[in-house]
Structure 1
């Protein structure tokens, strides 16, 4: 599904050039669940921005399903991003003044659906993440775990080709983190979702098939994990 070949990324300022990704080669197959770990400043965020079609200023080749999208127009890239990638963030990134339903519906509206076409899909997504009956609530009325479930429902609403989860358990307690990771595991095993999970938390790693460690912009380890 995803092939990164010889990726280098530089940030330039007035005084210096920072080499933030160094000769990164990475293959992600459909249906994998991958953990990416590394210390702060290791290049994890840069890597996922690149994978999520947010950043396309890099050297090397990024092939998605065999196609390079780097030269695509901004409009096409936005459309690809909306329909292809689901994003889940540590801080949930929900719109506080919108209901749970409206938060989950938003990517559909961006994708050209009318309000009359969205209800069945939104309700199915909320049911999938265990939030039936919460559609009229606002984010502040929910626990942290429930808010992350809303974010996950929003991330799967367009049946994306892959999900990028950036520290999805970082703001949650241990018990809630386990619940969220079990939900990701279900999405991966039952729905076939491809999941790329960035984390500092070693307890998240056993849920994944593969561990990639990144340090100083380079992949220093890429290993298969045995599932119990």
Structure 2
């Protein structure tokens, strides 16, 4: 209403007429009583008097007090800086004495911010409310980037740890009914080159016996030089 009056340059009496023209039902009945009182007591037909009557009727002290409490208790919490600023601006009109000056408005805005943002603004030089909002948004963006960076870092460390665990798992051996099967890692299929039947599971470092009782030497390859008939630990150069 007030914005319309300013834009159209309405005089005070026309402002009242424009407002009461839109009353219906109970509101119209209420205004008939008020207008009769004004005529009887010769109260000036001004917007200030109309607004006072209107607030007494529809904005009781209880409602006004509740709205002030809502403004005083307003906290950022999980709201973004833009959402908090929008809500702050929307309801600070219900407690005008708390934001009557720019300095009080800035102080009340900062009091509702999350603690970590308040700490960052404690040493900042702030003159206007616009400065407060700009610096608070910068702090929020920086902290958000910091959290995202450490979250990605923790995720990379977790992935590397899992890969390291898989690569350092010990060899596991399973003995079947007639032969020893060597599994490279848990979950893999047995190696296609199984040791000869009846041999002990020492990968060629112990000699077994054939079914005739004669000793047999398993086929062994050196892991250092690649030659046969000796192991890596037995190679003299190693």
TM-score, normalised by the number of residues in structure 2:
0.21
- Which structure has the bigger radius of gyration? 2
Structure 1-normalised TM-score? Answer: 0.22
Highest relative contact order (Cα 8 Å, sep 6+), 1 or 2? 1
